[in-house]
Amino acid sequence: MYCLLKQKYETRFITPDSKSFTLSQVSAQVNTPNQQSIAKGKTYAVVIGISDYGNGGIPHLKYADRDASAFADYLSSPAGGQVPRDQIRLLLNEDASLLNVDQALKWLVQKCNAGDLAYFYFSGHGDVENSTIYPAGFLLCYNAPVNNYNISSLEVRRLNDFAHTISRATGGQIIMITDACHSGTLVGSENKGQSLVGLELRKVQDRETRITSCSTEEKSWESDDLGGGRGLFSFNLINGFTGWADKQKDGKITVSELREFIRTALAFDPVLEFNNATQTPAVEGRDEFILATPDSATLARSKEQMAATIVSSARVAPGPKVITDPSALKTMFFETCRSAGIGKLMQGEDVASMTPAVFEKKLFDKLKEKITNQVERENLQRYADYLHDADNESDHQFFISNLASELDNLGESAINLYLKGDEATLQNRINDAGAGMELYPAFLPWPGKWWGWKILR
């Protein structure tokens, strides 16, 4: 297996035994692969990608539709087995209504016979409906309404029924790929809804392979730099299928090889490193099952495209920049607060008894502890020094007003979430010790306290 590391103008690969190669050296080692098919019969696929949801209450995604199109193109390519287009149902955005998705799954079941191979690929939002004591996981279709997914979303249990029908009743093989952990703002994010969806999607039966984009508590990341804009998981998945995961150099990609490749690729991904984040895909199934039989020409093109992507990305985004403009420093401060979560940062502190000056200093100190990048830490300290310069008192007062508004919004949002939930949901939120939710109601009195506060020198 080769692990990709991004350096300034060089593509370098690291093998498990710590040997390193340049792009040209790796390409020279590629053998002409065996072109045997992974399926004895025909291959059929349902491929779904939803970036733009019809309901305004469901956040849009950047590249879910492009990821789905790229996977359909892979299946049609020599590396993917040259699956005829009439054997692929591609549903993007408004075409991915529940009715169309359900009809496509029924078509998939009807078409597959013993020895055939079926693909189900979904990129979009996943969430949970929690109106009963047994919450149900859903893949959100285009026309899904907020908080009432039973009407127009695909229940994961029903998807599992389709998969088990193909693998057990018809004797076919099915490969299920789901990239459905994009959002932390849907209802399920408050009660571990993504965990439920992820666990349901990993229930593997014989003759089934299931691949999910991240662990149950992680986010699935996207990048503007990959292929003009792609999801990290999808981009690396297709690279793995194309031949990058061929550790044995025998022209076959097995479940175990893909698992090792994609986990390592994301473990060293520069986007995740820059954001101090992790994304751990899961590949479940028989380790020896052959997922792909790539061809050398497609693999060589893939490596050339990756080299161009890395050079471009290295030039455009070398890392955090030094910020000196006060307005940009202010934007950086509040974006960092929202990303880290003020409730989490201040958890365990007696917020209600703090003066505004003490709270402000404590918050800056907590943020500096949270940030690991030295440039970002220096930017934060530069902003603190600017605010406490006597010449900048009016800006400091304006900052205090903005921070008071931020705390007010957090308090109101927390109260609204409590009002929306049932008893079980409220208990889940209370039990979520890492969220710092218990602090948010304490923020409500602060705007009056802060807006009338005069800075004491």
**Dihedrals φ, ψ of 175, to 5°?**
-115, 115
Would you list the DSSP string of 203-245? ---TTEEEEESS-TT-PPPEESSGGGSEEHHHHHHHHIIIIIT
Predicted TM-score (pTM) of this structure: 0.58
* Residue 73: predicted pLDDT: 94
Same domain flag for 308 and 403: no
* Residue 215: predicted pLDDT: 74
Same domain flag for 113 and 241: yes
Any idea which residue has 């497609």 for tokens?
298
- Asked if residue 457 is part of any domain, the answer here is no
Q: Cα-atom radius of gyration of the chain, to the nearest Å? A: 25
Same domain flag for 345 and 447: yes
Per-residue buried b or exposed e for 150-173, using 16+ beta carbons within 10 Å of the residue's own CB? eebbbbbeebbebbbbbbeebebb
- Asked if residue 255 is part of any domain, the answer here is yes
- Asked if residue 387 is part of any domain, the answer here is yes
Residue-level length of the chain: 457
Tell me the three state secondary structure of residue 332. Answer: helix
Same domain flag for 196 and 300: yes
Same domain flag for 294 and 397: no
- CA angle, 151 as apex, 148 and 157 as ends, to 5°? 90
With a CB cutoff of 8 Å and minimum separation 6, the contacts of 193 are: 126, 127, 128, 130, 135, 137, 186, 187
Any idea which residue has 């300034």 for tokens?
8
**Dihedrals φ, ψ of 337, to 5°?**
-60, -45
- Asked if residue 337 is part of any domain, the answer here is yes
Task: Single out the residue of 233, 241, 226, 137 nearest to residue 188, CA to CA.
Answer: 137
Domain end position, chosen among 260, 284, 316: 316
- Asked if residue 49 is part of any domain, the answer here is yes
* Residue 443: predicted pLDDT: 54
Contact in structure between 190 and 417 (CB atoms under 8 Å):
yes
Domain that holds residue 131: 3-316
- Asked if residue 168 is part of any domain, the answer here is yes
Contact in structure between 122 and 141 (CB atoms under 8 Å):
no
Cα gap 286→208, rounded to integer Å:
8
| Residue 147 backbone class (left: φ over 0; alpha: ψ -120 to 50; beta: rest) | left
Same domain flag for 97 and 223: yes
Angle between helices 156-164 and 98-111 (to 10 degrees): 10
- Asked if residue 262 is part of any domain, the answer here is yes
Same domain flag for 143 and 43: yes
Identify the helix (H) or strand (E) that includes residue 117. strand 117-123
Query: Which pair of structure tokens corresponds to residue 270?
Result: 């520069």
Same domain flag for 209 and 92: yes
Domain containing 187 — which CATH number?
3.40.50.1460
Sign of the CA dihedral running 202, 208, 212, 215: positive
- Bridge pairing between strands 290-292 and 253-254: antiparallel
Cα gap 127→140, rounded to integer Å:
7
Contact in structure between 243 and 202 (CB atoms under 8 Å):
no
Same domain flag for 201 and 226: yes
The count of structural domains within the chain is 2
How many CB atoms are closer than 10 A to CB 331? 12
Contact in structure between 44 and 117 (CB atoms under 8 Å):
yes
- Asked if residue 139 is part of any domain, the answer here is yes
Cα gap 194→185, rounded to integer Å:
11
| Residue 375 backbone class (left: φ over 0; alpha: ψ -120 to 50; beta: rest) | alpha
Same domain flag for 308 and 252: yes
Contact in structure between 129 and 149 (CB atoms under 8 Å):
yes
Cα gap 64→124, rounded to integer Å:
6
* Residue 126: predicted pLDDT: 84
Same domain flag for 281 and 407: no
| Amino acid code (one letter) for 413 | S
Domain end position, chosen among 316, 349, 365: 316
* Residue 315: predicted pLDDT: 43
Give me the residues paired with residue 5 across strands.
12
pLDDT per residue as tens, the chain (457 positions): 334 443 333 444 443 344 444 434 433 333 333 333 455 789 999 999 999 998 877 888 999 999 999 999 999 998 898 999 999 999 999 999 998 999 999 999 999 999 999 999 999 988 776 555 456 778 899 988 876 777 788 988 888 889 889 988 888 999 999 998 653 333 333 333 344 344 444 445 578 898 988 876 678 888 887 877 899 999 999 999 998 898 888 889 999 999 999 999 888 888 888 888 888 888 888 888 999 888 777 677 666 666 655 544 444 444 578 888 888 888 888 888 877 878 778 888 887 788 778 888 999 999 988 888 888 889 999 999 999 998 888 888 878 877 876 776 666 555 555 555 545 555 555 555 444 455 555 555 555 555 444 333 3
Same domain flag for 344 and 391: yes
* Residue 207: predicted pLDDT: 82
Domain end position, chosen among 316, 346, 380: 316
